[in-house]
Chain A
């Protein structure tokens, strides 16, 4: 991960160099801070990457782990993509029902109740009470 950050730093510097150079009067210009930050990130990122003992945190190695992660990620992406097409109510209900199922909730009445109930409640709070326009 440190390496990733260092890489990002290098990319940032490269990108920033393409920005307009500062005019003499106005002090450091547009590209100053991004270049500086990119350098800092590259240096610190390298420092972190080369340190011994920066292990990824262990989680309980549960078999369903990747399945749940992927399900969550997929659900999130689908939600965003479908959000404006299907509208808030439909997308949210589907999302909740789907994810509850993916997480192992097998009791259909509970899935239905939570999915529908939470969606309606959220709708009432945001769209009705706060008058937020939702698709």
Chain B
């Protein structure tokens, strides 16, 4: 216990420097600002703002990124409540009751409760992260390539399976991402693969233009198809503070949703979206008046918002301790870390404790800043959300272009951005989830390296993966996970 307190003290000493406080504030504000914009979800927000951290020292950059991560989650809920447009899939549940509350003139308390719930969840999940870090790191230090391979495979499969309309589509996208990851130099032999004589491809596709293309540019193209008009909730927002009745209604919601969110977030592959859905359904189930859900019940806002923030915190656990992302957003964070030359995982805890604990400490600070910042500034965020799409879309594109170029200084990446924008647009039109592609792209080279290393270690013995207990369990989970949908499908066919 004292070890944790000492580490935390170290962390705060890093996080409370004026520079890092500033970057934390910048991250939180920037994240909310971009997150508020409709159509821009947390993954896109982090990806868009990532280039701003280029050139900073890794600790400050990471602190700012974490702030962006939290801020964007909050921004998405604002648009969900006010204009019935979820900023991201994790805010979809918030739309149900949140928008209804806004129509009833209760937008203020809805937003307020969302902010407070997010704060509670964020803080609680950081505390849990702190407590879980050491034991998990100890376990992870025993991980060899076989375990890492199995874990990453599980993460990829679960993300592929949960996101989107069908397991097949999700897994197909994950495979696509992995395939994209093979472009470039073979990680172990260095021989070029699929590079088509283009020198820029020797290092593979950069994850940032691909991500921005698949998420932001594709979103722009999809929105441009629509009428570019939007329904805006126009009544003025009064009274942010939830009423006493609201508080009483939510007193168990907050802890319940936090717990659900955190656990879901920790599981690799499951993230904020699933957390918000589960929390909403759980809340509805334990409520005394389940039929009122959907008509503007404050628990209906508190539960998903709390859960998705808790999940964001939870997803940081596997990222920091094991180096395996728990969601699309943490995958981008992983990409960012790799950009700074850092590999998250147990070694990072050992070698750079100031970085990791500084990050954890600044997550506390970030949560406080979010609360302090967002309650008074709600009016500003609302005004931003009302910027007409026809102005917003070109601006988003410019930011994508500039950001991509800023990171790599290579016009080729702009072509990548544009190409994947079109690809992403086509994929979304046909109901294919895009997040697994990014995860596949980022994890692909690592997955392959671990796999091949494991086989080298075992001298070609494929049963190696099942000999080691942890790896075997994980592989078993993957097999089970993949077999279930196939089994269910076959069962349905058999029954006619």
What residues make up the interface of A, taking CB atoms closer than 8 Å to B?
A: 1-2, 5, 8-9, 12, 15-16, 19-20, 26-30, 33-34, 37-38, 40-41, 44-45, 47-48, 51, 54-57, 59-60, 62, 64-65, 68-69, 71-73, 75-77, 79-80, 83-84, 88, 92, 95-96, 99-100, 103-105, 110, 114, 118-119, 122, 125-126, 130-134
Please tell me the size bucket of the interface on B.
35 or more
List, in ascending order, chain B residues with CB within 8 A of A122's CB: 398-399, 402
The answer on a CB contact under 8 Å between B52 and A130 is: yes
Q: Which 3 A-B pairs have the closest CB atoms?
A: A103-B390, A27-B455, A1-B430
Contacts of B178 in A (CB 8 A): 33, 37
A40 touching B414 by the CB < 8 A rule? no
Name the one of B175, B191, B222 contacting A59, with C-beta atoms under 8 angstroms. B222
A29 to B193, CA, bound (A): 12
Binary A-proximity of B174-206 (CB < 8 A = 1, otherwise 0): 011011001000101101011000000000000
CB contact under 8 A between A114 and B414, given known A8-B176, A48-B166, A60-B226 = no
- Beyond A26-B452, A27-B456, 10 additional pairs, beta carbon < 8 A: A19-B193, A34-B179, A34-B182, A56-B429, A59-B225, A77-B418, A83-B411, A96-B398, A103-B393, A126-B51
Cβ–Cβ < 8 Å partners of B227 in chain A:
60, 62, 64
- The answer on a CB contact under 8 Å between B52 and A125 is yes
Chain A residues whose CB sits within 8 angstroms of the CB of B398 once the complex forms: 92, 95-96, 118-119, 122
Instruction: Report Cα–Cα, A100/B396, bound state, in Å.
Output: 12
- Could you mark each residue 13-55 of chain B with 1 if its beta carbon is under 8 Å from any beta carbon of chain A, else 0? 0000000000000000000000000000000000000011011
Q: Name 16 interchain pairs, CB-CB below 8 A, sorted by A.
A: A15-B194, A27-B460, A28-B455, A30-B191, A30-B193, A48-B169, A60-B226, A62-B227, A64-B227, A69-B225, A76-B397, A83-B414, A92-B401, A96-B398, A103-B390, A130-B406
Q: Are B175 and A37 in contact (CB under 8 A)?
A: yes
Most buried by B among A15, A16, A122: A122
Q: How far is the CB of B487 from chain A (nearest CB, A)?
A: 15
Is B224 a contact of A104 with CB atoms below 8 Å? no
Docked-complex contact A68 and B179, CB < 8 angstroms: no
Stretch among B122-130, B266-274, B419-427 lining the A interface = B419-427
Whether B391 sits at the interface, judged by CB under 8 Å, is: yes
| CB of B89 closer than 8 Å to a CB of A | no
* Contact in complex: A99, B397 (CB < 8 Å): yes
Chain B residues with CB under 8 Å of A57's CB are 428-431
In the complex, what residues of B have CB within 8 A of residue A73's CB? 221, 422
Q: Within the assembled complex, what's the spacing in Å between the Cα atoms of A29 and B189?
A: 8
Q: Known: A45-B172, A118-B398. Is A99-B393 also a contact (CB below 8 A)?
A: yes
A133→B259 CA distance, assembly (Å): 46
CB neighbours of B143 from chain A (8 A)? none
A95 to B175, Cβ gap below 8 A?
no
Write out the residue numbers on chain B whose beta carbons fall within 8 Å of the beta carbon of A110.
Answer: 391
Q: Contacts A1-B432, A19-B191, A125-B52; is A48 near B393 (CB within 8 Å)?
A: no
Task: Kindly list chain B residues whose C-beta atoms are within 8 Å of the C-beta of A69.
Answer: 221, 224-225
Q: Is the CB of A59 within 8 A of B397?
A: no
Q: Is B415 at the interface (CB under 8 A from chain A)?
A: yes
Please report the C-alpha to C-alpha distance between residue A12 and residue B172 in the assembled complex, in whole angstroms.
14
A101: shortest Cβ distance to chain B, in Å? 10
B389 contact set on A, CB distance < 8 A: 103
Contact of B172 among A26, A48, A133, A134 (CB under 8 A): A48
Q: Most chain-A Cβ atoms within 10 A of its Cβ — which of B402, B431, B460?
A: B402
Nearest CB of A to B303, in Å: 28
Greatest chain B CB density within 10 A among A15, A30, A34 is at A30
A33 touches B448 (CB 8 A): yes
Rounded to whole angstroms, the CA-CA distance of A104 and B394 in the bound complex is 12
Query: Who on chain B is nearest to A132 by CB?
Result: B406
Our pick among B172, B411, B421 for the contact of A84 (Cβ within 8 Å) is B411
Tell me whether B188 and A26 are in contact (CB under 8 A): yes
* Any A CB within 8 A of the CB of B9: no
Q: Output the nearest chain B residue to A133 by Cβ-Cβ distance.
A: B409
B171 at the interface (CB under 8 A from A): yes
- Nearest B residue to A104 via CB reads B390
Interface string of B420-453 (1 = CB under 8 A from A): 0110001111111000000000000000100110
List of B residues within 8 angstroms of A75 by Cβ: 394, 397
Compute how far the CA of A51 lies from the CA of B172 in the bound complex, rounded to whole angstroms.
14
Q: Whole-angstrom distance from the CB of A44 to the nearest CB of chain B? A: 4
Q: A96 contacts which of B52, B395, B406 (Cβ < 8 Å)? A: B395
Q: Does B405 belong to the interface (CB within 8 Å)?
A: yes
Across the interface, which residues of A come within 8 angstroms of B460, CB to CB? Answer: 27
A100 to B391, CA, bound (A): 6
Contact B224–A48 (Cβ < 8 Å):
no
Residue contact A41 to B393, C-beta cutoff 8 Å = no
Shortest C-beta distance, B245 to chain A (Å), equals: 39
Chain A CB within 8 A of B257 CB: no
A20, A28, A51, A76 pick with most chain B CB within 10 angstroms = A76
| A125 to B26 alpha-carbon distance, docked (Å) | 13
Which residue on chain A has the smallest CB distance to residue B397?
A: A76
Q: Which residue of B lies closest to A97 (CB)?
A: B394
A49 to B403, CA, bound (A): 36
B390 touches A41 (CB 8 A): no
